[in-house]
Chains A and B, each alone.
Chain A
Amino acid sequence: MMAFYFSRLVEIFPFFLKGLWMTTQIAFISLFTCTILGFVLGILRSGKNRIIKWLIGVYVSFVRGTPFVVQVFIVFFILPEWGIQLKAFPAALLAMGIMGSAFICEIVSGGISAISKGQWEAGTASGLTLIQQLRLVIIPQAMKVILPPLVGQYVLLIKDTSVVSVIGVMELTRVGWVTVMRIPEGLMVFSLVGALYFVISYPLILLSNYLERRMAI
């Protein structure tokens, strides 16, 4: 029986590859946008404008204090009530973007605040503009603090894409659900799903470990 199911699984393996491709797309598009947004928010959060800092603080607290699955529901089911109707895929990207950029914002502003005030002052005193101070002096140093947890966050974000299966996006986890209805070998099916997540996460885990060791020196 087991062998029969296994051959069925091989038969529908292309379906899994499609799911993997969808997961990869959601993961990498959102990693990219979250990184950019997270850096912008993180830099603003370490700035001087109190209102902006407070607003970002509220946003970060909201995201950190609510489950991601609830955020996905809000984007997909509540936003339409306010006239913003999104298909499952863009809704998934938006929810991932909101969640991921909040966490990356925290990592970035933490990294920036680890740099001493004297570094800003040295740049200021020599006539560098604020943007130049960030680009040439602060961010290059803060990267040492930011990179290891940032890559760690990427791994978490990749795994969190599984949550968007609840709104019907045909990504890897959803493919697993659908398959299990036809092949009642849960262990086999979800081992395959897990293995495929592992394939995209593991290189980043290795990178994170490597960076942690390098930056520690």
Chain B
Amino acid sequence: MIEFKHVNKWFGKLHVLNDVNLDIDPGEVLVICGPSGSGKSTLIRCINRLENIQEGEIIVDGVPVHDKKTNLTKLRADIGFVFQQFHLYPHMTVLQNVMLAPVNVKKMSSAAAEKISKEKLTQVGLTDKAGAYPAQLSGGQQQRVAIARGLAMSPKIMLFDEPTSALDPEMIGEVLDVMVNLVSEGMTMCVVTHEMGFAKKVADRVLFMDFGKIIETGRPDEFFDNPQTLRAADFISKILTH
């Protein structure tokens, strides 16, 4: 579904992605973790070309992402993206936020877009907030709207960039619940997160990155209980102790 072939990327002199090779199957749930600055956010931002790469190739569902001829609008329409800071449109209601892309990218009629948007809001448990503005919602609710906004495009893949890192602790659960629920629907997901509970519960694979390199991959129970590299062991002990 998503394939990285010898991907290299630099920010100036900083080698943010260092020969990344990766194969993600349809329906797979991949959790990516690693210290900050390790390149994990950059990795998923390359999948829908929020970032360009300098070397190598990324292929999503048969489409070379960084090819000049690739229709980016179509590619991005099939990939939902959830940001750490939500980035809802503050001047639109919750429903308008969710409907925007279906109407303007998929050219749905507003009736059809409204129908699917309301379904997705129900799925994230926010049916009653359709008319509210983002500023009137809690962080957890905003993030759930952001997930519904991604889902309204009926994507094949959902990418999550630290979806719970900007949330107060008591709101993390409600967002993770929505994501777990997505897993059970068979969505292909890449999640950058340090939520070990989530990883252990639903991830098919955990990928550990440092200095732009994939250091280790494995099943979540193996990775967290018995890491193969010193760096991964050190990282796990750090996220466990606080």
Contacts and interface: CB of A to CB of B under 8 A. Distances in A.
Interface of A: 116, 118-119, 121-122, 124-129, 132, 136-137, 140-141
A125 B73 CA distance: 9
Nearest to B150: A126
Contacts of A132: 104-105
Interface range on chain B (Cβ under 8 Å from partner): 20 to 34
A117 to B, nearest CB: 9
A136 B100 contact: yes
B84 to A, nearest CB: 9
B87 A122 contact: yes
A125 B100 contact: no
Contact of A129 (B73, B91, B150): B73
Contacts of B79: 125
B91 A125 contact: no
**Secondary structure type dominating chain B contacts:** mixed
A184 B74 CA distance: 73
A118 B83 CA distance: 8
**Secondary structure type dominating chain A contacts:** helix
B146 to A, nearest CB: 8
A116 B90 CA distance: 11
Chain A to chain B: the 7 pairs with minimum beta-carbon distance, closest first: A125-B81, A126-B101, A122-B87, A118-B87, A127-B76, A127-B105, A127-B77
A128 B105 contact: yes
B50 A140 contact: no
Contact of B100 (A116, A118, A121, A126): A126
B91 A141 contact: yes
B50 A119 contact: no
A116 B74 CA distance: 25
A125 B85 contact: no
